[in-house]
């Protein structure tokens, strides 16, 4: 009998597993493909935690997988020998999120670790904030971010408020793998956990602290006071956690004209108005754009289900709406925050901006313009958080702004994950500032402010292409694709010559002309990056959370038209390269 069949029979017949689980598995009896997919592997606890389809099986999100993950985390925490360790737990609007969050809390309690559990759904950045505010050793967030409705996930944070990085990620993964007997995981009942002081429900106090901290990040309250009544904002939480905090912070700052998309206002794990609750997609804005045209809104904001990513449309002076990609909104906010901090407070000599390797090179151009350092890190906001921690530990460097292309940024250091709530607030502040009829901005729209950056620094344009490769065969194809790029690296993409190849798994940068090899200076990761002529680039990496290989690329042109032409040419060359490998 094959291994996946043995695991299926074990789950089906072992009385330890509950009746609902056995009934679900009995219903797929005879469906070999489904049984194989559910049991051919254990849902992998990686550096981003867990993410998978909800259901029974070792390759699914369910109570037993939550127990295993939390049991391993608890073992790791207890080996840190910290007095009275505590963990903060939050969750989003997805199916089973409240139940999984409580299960994790009770496993922690069973292992003598106090759990601070939010009373209801909260955004990811607030969990990061709570970890620091409550002086927890770790945090857990039950969320699958912007994945389809069938998914849920489990993210782990460490005491600095960022998602786990080395050495803690490796240590926790080892402990989770060491849990092989589900029945051996210790768990306490809810009543006992509360009476023993190992479970505390939290809410309003942390909410108030979080919102007040966000408001402290505002640079131009006088611009908001003068212009807030003239700014019209359409907002959609996409059925997720952003509805309450985004509306609250905007209201408390004085923005009166906030119109929430009615059909997307309430939390709903089915995400009934979208097939994919992702603010990176045009579909997410269909209802928001309709409402914006009705009320003549200046900008449209959409947060993903756990409110760490923000999608944006802005209106130009002619009344047309333009989408801002994550790179665009990140650069617009970076320029605003750095320029206005310089004007209001002055810039520190050791100030820096942080971007990930797949984020627009316009970020580096902005940093150069303001004469600050631009630090580059691996993909994943936790590495941006790591830079903030390093500055705190060494006393060197002042964090000014950090963002990644996947629609996430952080203003301030109160949290260590991307925050769509504060980004929403900051964009509305910027809209008010730029709309002032006199002074620096002369009544600009956000779109005009974006175009000003391009006209000053160059027209940078980025794109990403995802190749979905699911199941066992997909995993093999993914490996084949990455190996082909390594063994036979392209020396050009179309007419654009490759200048340098960065192999982050090897930790090496190879100069294609001189053959010189230098270190990347970053942790090892399965990522390939190609520096091209004129600030162009291509990057190939497997997704850390989905069965996909992502191909990113960016160009710089002297005009919008030139940038589009160069981008289309590179995309065609990249797709030709990929298709050739997969069809071989």
In the three-class reduction of DSSP (H, G, I as helix; E, B as strand; rest coil), residue 117 is classed as strand
Exposure of 175 by Cβ count < 10 A (0-12 exposed, 13-18 middle, 19+ buried)?
Answer: buried
Q: Nearest CA to 247 among 26, 10, 475, 428?
A: 428
Nearest to 427 by CA among 294, 290, 311: 311
**Cα torsion angle, 490, 491, 493, 498, sign:** positive
Q: What does the DSSP 8-state code read for residue 78?
A: H
Could you give the CA distance from residue 363 to residue 306 in angstroms, rounded to a whole number? 26
User: How far is it, in rounded angstroms, from Cα 542 to Cα 462?
Assistant: 18
CB-based contacts of 261, cutoff 8 Å, min separation 6: 234, 235, 236, 287, 288, 291
Cα 285 to Cα 234, 275, 418: the distances in Å are: 10, 12, 21
- Cβ burial of 279 (10 Å; 0-12, 13-18, 19+) is buried
How many whole angstroms separate alpha carbon 64 and alpha carbon 41?
15
DSSP annotation of 576: H
Three-state SS for 138?
A: strand
Question: What are the tokens at 30?
Answer: 């005879």
Helix axes 471-487, 560-583, angle to 10 degrees: 110
CA distance linking residue 338 with residue 187, whole number of Å: 48
CA gap 573, 584 in Å, rounded: 17
**Cα radius of gyration rounded to whole Å, the chain:** 24
Q: How far is CA 480 from CA 466, 488, 503, in A?
A: 16, 12, 16
Angstrom distance (rounded) from CA 6 to CA 461: 51
Say which of 145, 360, 424, 567 is annotated catalytic. 145
Q: Is 195 a catalytic residue?
A: no
Residue 152, classed as helix, strand or coil, is strand
Residue 252 is given by DSSP the state H
Enzyme catalytic residues: 145
């Amino acid at each position: 009998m094959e291994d996946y069949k043995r695991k299926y029979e074990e789950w089906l017949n072992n009385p330890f597993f509950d009746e609902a689980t056995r009934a679900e598995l009995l219903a797929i009896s005879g469906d070999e493909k489904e049984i194989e997919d559910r049991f051919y592997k254990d849902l992998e606890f990686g550096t981003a935690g867990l993410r998978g389809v909800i259901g029974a099986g070792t390759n699914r999100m369910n109570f037993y997988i939550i127990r295993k993950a939390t049991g391993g985390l608890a073992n790791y925490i207890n080996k840190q020998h910290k007095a009275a360790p505590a963990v903060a737990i939050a969750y989003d609007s997805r199916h089973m999120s409240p139940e999984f969050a409580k299960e994790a809390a009770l496993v922690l309690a069973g292992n003598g670790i106090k759990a601070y559990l939010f009373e209801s759904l909260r955004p990811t950045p607030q969990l990061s904030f709570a970890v620091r505010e409550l002086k927890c050793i770790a945090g857990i967030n039950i969320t699958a971010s912007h994945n389809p409705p069938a998914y849920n996930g489990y993210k782990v944070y460490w005491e600095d408020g960022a998602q786990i990085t080395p050495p803690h990620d490796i240590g926790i993964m080892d402990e989770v793998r060491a849990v092989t007997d589900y029945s051996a995981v210790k768990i306490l009942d809810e009543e006992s956990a509360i009476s023993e002081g190992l479970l505390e429900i939290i809410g309003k106090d942390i909410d108030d602290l979080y919102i007040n901290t966000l408001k402290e990040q505002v640079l131009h309250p006088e611009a908001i006071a003068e212009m807030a009544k003239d700014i019209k904002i359409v907002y959609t939480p996409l059925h997720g956690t952003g509805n309450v905090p985004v509306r609250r912070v905007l209201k408390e700052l004085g923005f009166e004209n906030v119109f929430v998309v009615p059909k997307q206002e309430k939390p709903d794990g089915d995400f009934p108005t979208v097939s994919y609750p992702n603010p990176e997609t045009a579909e997410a804005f269909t209802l928001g754009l309709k409402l914006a045209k009705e009320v003549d809104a200046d900008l449209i904001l959409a947060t993903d289900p756990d409110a760490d990513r923000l999608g944006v449309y802005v209106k130009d002076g002619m009344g047309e709406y333009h989408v801002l990609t994550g790179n665009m909104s990140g650069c617009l906010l970076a320029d605003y925050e750095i320029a206005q901090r310089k004007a209001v407070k002055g810039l520190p000599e050791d100030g820096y901006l942080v971007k990930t390797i797949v984020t627009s090179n316009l970020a580096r151009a902005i940093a150069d313009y303001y004469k600050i350092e631009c630090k580059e890190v691996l993909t994943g906001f936790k590495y941006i958080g790591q830079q903030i921690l390093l500055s705190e530990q060494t006393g060197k460097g002042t964090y000014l702004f950090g963002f990644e292309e996947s629609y996430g940024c952080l203003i301030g250091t109160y949290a260590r994950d991307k925050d769509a709530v504060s980004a929403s607030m900051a964009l509305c502040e910027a809209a008010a500032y730029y709309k002032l009829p006199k002074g620096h901005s002369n009544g600009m729209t956000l779109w005009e402010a974006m175009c000003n950056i391009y006209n000053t620094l160059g027209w940078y344009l980025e794109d990403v292409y995802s190749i979905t490769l699911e199941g066992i065969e997909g995993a093999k194809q993914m490996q084949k694709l990455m190996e082909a790029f390594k063994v036979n690296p392209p020396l050009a993409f179309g007419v654009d010559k490759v200048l340098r190849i960065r192999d982050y798994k090897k930790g090496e940068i190879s100069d294609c002309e001189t053959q010189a090899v230098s270190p990347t200076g970053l942790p090892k990761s399965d990522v390939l990056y190609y520096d091209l002529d004129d600030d162009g680039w291509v990057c190939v990496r497997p997704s850390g959370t989905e069965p996909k290989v992502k191909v990113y690329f960016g160009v710089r042109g002297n005009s919008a038209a030139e940038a589009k032409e160069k981008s289309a040419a590179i995309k065609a060359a990249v797709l030709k390269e990929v298709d050739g490998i997969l069809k071989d």
